[in-house]
Amino acid sequence: GAGVSQSPRYKVAKRGQDVALRCDPISGHVSLFWYQQALGQGPEFLTYFQNEAQLDKSGLPSDRFFAERPEGSVSTLKIQRTQQEDSAVYLCASSTPSLGTGHYEQYFGPGTRLTVT
């Protein structure tokens, strides 16, 4: 498709379960970002990839959170031993430099809503 896609769109997990959230970026986009959006809040940065390299993971809230992008396209965000405070929408965004301006802006997917019960 033309945009960023994410799956599943909704996930309910029991506390303590592991979950894996998938992001398919726009084809050819070099950069990929994960954000966490709590209810009623703006998105907060989790981690960033340039191709397959994870260059910034400063926003990951704990070592239960792990992200990978092994071939530089699809990315997976994994949360181990989920807790109730992990309930949020997880947004993926991708970007690549604009040929005309050199600027590169992030285009977001629809998100995965995770509910931990």
Extract the runs of DSSP E, i.e. beta strands, from the chain.
Answer: 5-7, 10-13, 19-24, 31-37, 44-50, 53-56, 65-68, 75-79, 88-95, 107-108, 112-116
Beta-carbon neighbour count of residue 24 at 10 Å?
18
55 binds another protein (CB under 8 A): yes
Measured from the Cβ of residue 57, the count of other Cβ atoms closer than 10 Å reads 15
Contact status: 14 vs another protein (CB under 8 A): no
Nearer to another protein, 5 or 76 (CB): 5
Contact region with another protein (CB under 8 A), list: 11-19, 39-47, 67-75, 77-85 = 39-47
| Cα three-residue angle 95-38-94, rounded to 5 degrees | 5
Q: Which of 18, 44, 52, 85 binds another protein (CB under 8 A)?
A: 44
Return the structure tokens found at 7. Answer: 């799956």
Nearest CB to another protein, comparing residues 14 and 103: 103
65 lines the binding site for another protein (CB under 8 A): no
Least distance (Å) between residue 35 CB and another protein: 8
Could you list the residues that contact another protein (CB under 8 A)?
4, 31, 33, 35, 40-45, 48, 50, 55-56, 59, 91, 93, 95, 103-111
